[in-house]
Structure 1
Amino acid sequence: MENLLNHAPCGFLTLSEDGTILAINQTLLTVLEYDTDVLIGKNINHILTVPARIFYQLYFIPLIKADKPVEEMYISLQTANGEDIPVLINAIQRKNSLVIDCVLVQMHKRNEYENELLIAKKKAETALSEKRQANKELEVALHKLEMKQKELIELNKENQKFKLETQMELHLAKNIQETSLTKPIFTEGLQIEAFYQASSELSGDMYGFYHINPNQYGIIILDVMGHGISSALITMSLQSLFQRLILNGFRADIIFKELDNHLYRLFQENDETWHYCTAIYLFIDTDQRTIEYINAGHPPGLWQNSTGEQLELTSTSPPIGSFPGLTFKRRSLTYNKGGRILLYTDGVVDPYDSHLLTSLLENNQGITLTELKQKLVQLMKDEENGYHNNDDQCFILIDLKGVEEQNFCVK
């Protein structure tokens, strides 16, 4: 790398199309606390924090592939000692080449201005207490304070602009997340309704139900640990994976193993940002009238037959991503005359109040699924407290139609 770029007052990075680091200047190596050439040949994920890796895949790569420049994208790098370094990155792909050039600028300036402002204010207060002997120092300190205040005002304007842009991005991300939710299903043998409400702009909850073929359906609901942007990004990456696997007819245990492997690939180099996910998946065959399911540490689903008898679809394995080498055990039940199933995340009711859901199903067997959904939403509002206000809320209601006399057994 040319000496001028190597010691430039900003970071310089050259990537291949797949994210391999081809060149890096000494300025950036010094910031990241790496020796010369240690990072050459490594993937950029090696120096990105976990949220930044996801942001890189969802925003940076699509812009570059669309032949558009990346302008002032805010991400965080990670030093060799694990320290997070916030930076602004500008990038562009060279013409007639797959090489990507990136310029990175640290974002510590605001903190420096604020610290200087506090020091100036302290000097001003000290000067006032020293009366005449400190008049000259007071005037100097006040002048510095005025200058720093002007600088801070300008920085606040920039921050307000950044905040507005961030809110717009979050609103767009929320629309994308909600658009990815599947629509209610109404068929001859099955009806599905769902409810979804995030505790903040973005949610760590997700569901999906898919008509695999005329007689088979795949239904999943999951909850990623935590809330907000990081959980939502992980949820969306899982959603694209389980949708493909379910629509291709993979078995429940294979689907869960792939989701488990996906989480490990995301966090294999950083245990501190590790996330796990609870989930329950149903594979329903309305021709054979069978329900196969796996519950990975999720609140138990509720099955109620046409006579009102209820059965909990309890956990069959630990949460996805909880530790290496997980196996996922399938269970199944059969039905004839039909029944109803309720799947939900832990934000719907306090775990100690789960009896409210069994009572709701028991006392409303004769109403339509749409009416039952309205009653469950009203129950959440009636029970709303501090526990619910801080959690996402999501549930699925399934109405199965059958023939002959009701009979079900769990295998």
Structure 2
Amino acid sequence: MDEQLNHAPCGFLTLSEDGVILSINQTLLKILDYTQDSLTGQHVNSILTVPARMFFQFYFFSLLKLEHQVEEMYISLASNKGEEIPVLINALSRRVKETTLFECILIPMRKRNEFENELLLAKKETEEALKAKHKVNAELETTLKKLQIQKEELLELNKQNHNYKIETKKELELARVIQETSLTDPINNEKVQMEVFYNASGELSGDIYGIYQIDQHRFGIILLDVMGHGISSALITMTLQSLFQRLISAGFAVEIVMKELDSHLHKLFRNNEEARHYSTGIFLLIDTEKQIIEYVNAGHPPALWQDSDGKQYELFSTAPPLGTFEGVEFKTKTFTFSKGGRLLLYTDGVDPLASNHLAPLLKKTIALPLFKLKEEILQSLNNEKNVYHKNDDESFILIDLK
């Protein structure tokens, strides 16, 4: 890095396609209170706040890969001392010697935030003063009369709604049973062993998964998380489930399955953008004879692969979430495995704060059978609920390759 860029009045860093920091200038190091050696070679998550990590994963990298540039994206960095530093980021994608690099300019925005907050506060105080000034006794009397009429109407509506509420609860319970019935059972034989967990945050869930044995040696596993959790999300999961069940059972290639699911969501909401939903998802095709795993991760939390010796790999996102951008090219990633490895697929309800507690838990329990590991993960989930009082759908799949 030349001297002028190294001490420019703004931050500069270069990232690999996988998000690893390749270079960083002194200006940004000073802002973050880090040394060059402590950040070079580290993943960019090490200088991002927790919300910014999710934002980078779902949007920043996706936009760079699709449009090759990002303009005026607002995120927060985390300094070495834990201070949150708001910045404006511009970035572009560049090919250098057959390698894709992401070059980023970062401009601190502390003063701007302070000015904007002061303006918003002044605006709020002015609006409240104007409302109080124009309030007159005549309006108050009219309002009271309207409230009395509305009260009487509400009493009548409450009587009608009581029966409706009872009927709706019955219908939702039936829908929940139908949704859970559509879930496939885990497969356990001489080649694979599986454990699954599925828990809706309400009557219905936005999570859905499918486990299929395609032939003697191939197994397809898919896990999707539709935006939100409720009736609308549950309806979408059911349309996706019928589609991926047919495609996977027929042995279609990984990228074709994901492309068809993406196209389905676009067609579903083509005439109603306000109702549009997207879905994160990961699909793996395991071949126990060739000992290879093919996968596509569409904006989903990274699955964890652990070798028999405890070495771990994260199956990071390779494409944006399904239903977000049209014309996305889904590229299949492939890796080989040896017997004795272990896979963990999960939705963000299992690790909503990206706290990275699952990888250490998986390594610590390498000698435990799958059902014991499942108990450990459920205990971890209960502990997080007590601390953060979170409310989200929770699903995960555990797989041992014998």
Report the TM-score range of the alignment, normalised by the length of the smaller protein: 0.5 to 0.7
8 Å contact from structure 1 (residues 350, 387) kept in 2: no
How far apart are 1:388 and its partner, in Å?
A: 6.0
**Aligned match of 1:214:** 216
Matched residue, 1:390: 391
Give me the whole-angstrom Cα distance separating, in 2, the residues matched to 1:206 and 1:388: 23
Q: Which residue of 2 aligns with 1:369?
A: 370
Mark the runs of 5 or more structure 2 residues left unpaired by the alignment. 1-139
Superposed CA deviations along residues 114-143 of structure 1, whole A, max 9, x for unmatched, are xxxxxxx957968xxxxxxxxxxxxxx9xx
For residues 162 and 387 of structure 1, the distance between their equivalents in structure 2, rounded to whole angstroms, comes to 34
Change (3 A) 1:387 1:181: farther
Equivalent residue, structure 2, for 1:343: 345
Code of the residue aligned with 1:394 in structure 2: it is: S
- Give distance in 2, aligned partners of 1:370 and 1:302: 17
Change (3 A) 1:156 1:125: closer
Q: How does 1:265-284 map to 2 (within 5 A)?
A: 265-284=267-286
Equivalent residue runs for 1:92-103 within 5 Å: none
Q: Which of 300, 316, 319 is equivalent to 2:318?
A: 316
Structure 2 CA distance for aligned equivalents of residues 216 and 124 of structure 1? 69
1:35-54 to 2 correspondence within 5 Å? Answer: none
Give the structure 2 partner of residue 137 of structure 1: none
Amino acid at match of 2:327: G
Which residue in the other structure is 1:327 paired with?
329
| Bigger Rg over Cα | 1
Which of these residues, 302, 311, 318, is aligned with residue 300 of structure 1? 302
In structure 1, give the amino acid aligned to 2:345: L
Partner of 1:358: 359
Relative distance call for 1:260 and 1:344 in structure 2 (3 A) is same
Aligned match of 1:163 in 159, 162, 165? 165
Contact (CA 8 Å) 1:206, 1:235: kept in 2 or not? Answer: yes
Q: Which residue of the other structure, out of 178, 181, 186, is the alignment partner of 2:180?
A: 178
Classify the secondary structure of the residue corresponding to 1:353. coil
Q: Which residue of 2 aligns with 1:242?
A: 244
Separation of aligned partners in 2, 1:177 and 1:395: 16
TM-score by length of 1: 0.61
1:336 deviates by 2.3
CA offsets 1:86-138 (integer angstroms, 9 cap, x no match): xxxxxxxxxxxxxxxxxxxxxxxxxxxxxxxxxxx957968xxxxxxxxxxxx
Q: Deviations over 1:180-227 (max 9, x none)?
A: 111121110101111011111111111111111111100000111111
Q: Residues 132-167 of structure 1: CA distance to partner in whole angstroms, max 9, x if unpaired? A: xxxxxxxxx9xx96x983x65443222111111111
Q: Residues of 1 paired with 2:142 and 2:297: CA distance?
A: 62
- 1:106 maps to what in 2? none
Matches of 1:348 and 1:392 in 2, distance apart? 8
1:227 aligns with 229
CA contact (8 A) 1:170 1:202 kept: yes
- 1:305, CA displacement in angstroms? 0.5
Residues 240-295 of structure 1 show CA distances to partners (whole Å, capped at 9, x for unaligned) of 11011100100111111110111011110121221111000000011111111000
Instruction: Confirm or deny: 8 A CA contact 1:210 1:218 kept in the other structure.
Output: yes
Q: Equivalent residue of 1:338, what SS?
A: coil
3-state secondary structure, aligned to 1:376: helix
C-alpha contact 2:307 2:338 (8 A) present in aligned 1: no
- 1:85-164 maps to which residues of 2 (within 5 A)? 149=152, 152-164=154-166
**Alpha-carbon distance in structure 1 between the residues aligned to 2:168 and 2:198:** 23
Structure 1: runs of 5 or more not aligned: 1-120, 127-140, 402-411
Task: From the superposition, tell whether residues 125 and 360 of structure 1 become closer, same or farther in structure 2 (CA, over 3 Å).
Answer: closer
Paired residue secondary structure (2:268): helix
Count of residues paired in the alignment: 264
Q: CA RMSD in A?
A: 2.4
Distance 1:182 1:342 in 2: 17
Query: Per the alignment, do residues 269 and 367 of structure 1 end up closer, same or farther by CA in structure 2, a change over 3 Å counting?
Result: same
2:131 aligned partner: none
Q: CA offsets per residue over residues 280-316 of structure 1, 9 Å max, x none?
A: 0000011111111000010000000100000011111
Query: What is the CA-CA distance between 1:230 and the residue it aligns to?
Result: 0.6
The answer for the alignment partner of 1:55 in structure 2 is: none
Specify the alignment match of 2:38 in structure 1. Answer: none
1:11-30 residue pairs with structure 2 within 5 A? Answer: none
Question: Does the aligned pair in 2 maintain the 1:280–1:298 contact within 8 Å?
Answer: yes
Distance 1:125-1:328 versus aligned 2 partners, 3 A rule? closer
Deviation of 1:385 after TM superposition, in Å, equals 5.0
Equivalence for 1:400:
401
Deviations 1:358-404 (A, max 9, x none): 11111111111111111111111112257562211110000001xxx
Contact 1:215 1:287 in 2 (8 A): yes
* Residue 350 of structure 1: how far off its partner (Å): 3.1
- In structure 2, give the amino acid aligned to 1:280: I
Contact in 2 for aligned 1:205/1:393 (Cα 8 Å): yes
**Alpha-carbon distance change, 289 to 169 in structure 1, aligned in 2, over 3 angstroms:** same
Once residues 242 and 275 of structure 2 are traced to their aligned partners in structure 1, the CA distance between those partners, rounded to angstroms, is 21
The 3-state SS of whatever aligns with 1:213 is coil
Q: Is the 8 A contact 2:300 2:317 kept in 1?
A: yes
Letter in 2 for 1:175: V
Are the counterparts in 1 of residues 173 and 203 from structure 2 also a CA contact under 8 Å?
yes
